[in-house]
Structure 1
């Protein structure tokens, strides 16, 4: 099963690279796998997952309406924590994007990591897409990690890791990503849980 999932992730890297080169946008990923009807296991509640999807859409729409192409923005929400990554042309635009994100319903906190720079090149975005897929594939190979519990976002070689993980899993995932070629830095945006909570989350739901 892991081998098949790893093949899907690597196939996703090829597709992401091709689509990024054409449009400058990577395809939507679910748990690191290109969306093909696969439902990924997630440690968030169903409600939190739905809210995160809504937050991403609302923040992206608000920034696009207000700032247009002055900001190349990627929005990632996990458990109501919002990551803003990409590039802004000025500090004022960067600050404005953060205020717009904070103003959206259900947003708990915002990590504004927009770089003050022109939009990244298509070549760089292609490299970032490959790094993300390589990280997911490496998590599959690691027997002590659950690939779908960690969200990976890459911008300009900077890898952001999000998820509900134990301290052990956070360190393991970080060490793995640091060993991938082209990674400039790893930024951890984790919600830490205990090993006891992990055991509880890993138990199959009771059936009536």
Structure 2
């Protein structure tokens, strides 16, 4: 009962604003030591969520309820907007935030979720996280969990086996209608090499990007404080989306 009440309280607080920033901004020092992202990528994710949030607020209207979640410099957009034009505008401004590698736009055109739906999504997220922690054959911190209208999004850096296992676990949680995997797939050898490099990195010095071997990502250029920022640059002439940067986006019903 206490957990349920806490979930409802959190959902009620986030319902008061038109935009929700993902969990990276709340990460503590301990998370740096257990996260598969480099320390530089974790700092960039915090900056991306804050900067993207500020950008979206500049164009926000009463029909926007947008959640921005960044993992390893790749952004997931969830929530609702009033029109297809708003959906494209949100994606465009987020793409132009410093250090963003790619954007997965899962915004839905329609009415915002109700208080009950948001409470239920928060509860589902908690159950999925708990189920991942209970599993003995995967590392729960490999994945970030986001839930929107019963759809669970798994973000992370993981092997194919870990991704499939986490998907099966999430699908088995009551209330989950679909699982979408936004995961950078790495081999077991790549994962071991990445973890060894992070362990050898001097403390306090940002590491690599945490991306699969052969891929590239911009170096961290984050600075604090973030706002105010320069005005938005003009829209690019080409609307061709950038490459995904190694992310596998796979819906699983």
TM-score normalised according to structure 1 size? 0.84
Identify the structure with the greater helix proportion: 1
Distance 1:120 1:96 in 2: 20
Give the alignment of 1:103-182 within 5 angstroms.
103-182=96-175
1:205 aligned counterpart, secondary structure: helix
User: Does residue 53 of structure 2 align to residue 60 of structure 1?
Assistant: yes
Aligned residue for 1:6?
A: none
Match of 1:87 in 2: 80
53-62 or 37-46, which deviates more: 37-46
2:21–2:68: 8 Å Cα contact kept in structure 1?
no
Per-residue Cα deviation, 1:112-155 (whole angstroms, up to 9, x for no partner) = 11001111111111100111111110011111111111000000
- Distance verdict in 2 for CA 1:53–1:19, change over 3 Å: same
Which residue of structure 2 lines up, in the alignment, with residue 191 of structure 1? 184
Q: Name the counterpart of 1:16.
A: 7
1:37/1:51 CA distance change after superposition, 3 Å: closer
Consecutive unaligned residues of structure 1, counting only runs of 5 or more, are 1-9
Distance in 2 separating the partners of 1:36 and 1:100:
24
Are 2:103 and 1:77 aligned?
no
Q: Residues 36 and 95 (structure 1 numbering): CA distance in 2 closer, same or farther, change over 3 Å?
A: closer
Shift of 1:39: 2.2
Cα distance in 2, alignment partners of residues 184 and 178 from structure 1: 8
1:47 equivalent in alignment to 2:40: yes
How big is the alpha-carbon RMSD for the aligned residues of Structure 1 and Structure 2? 2.7
Count of residue pairs the alignment pairs up: 196
Q: 1:205 aligns with which of 190, 199, 209?
A: 199
1:29 positional shift: 4.7
Separation of aligned partners in 2, 1:93 and 1:184: 26
Alignment check: 8 A CA contact 2:84 2:109 kept: yes
Say which SS state the counterpart of residue 68 (structure 1) adopts: coil
Give the CA deviation at 1:12: 6.2
Is contact 1:21-1:123 (8 Å) kept? no
Separation in 2, partners of 1:38, 1:81 = 21
Task: Using the TM superposition, give the Cα deviation of residue 20 of structure 1 relative to its aligned residue in structure 2, in angstroms.
Answer: 1.3
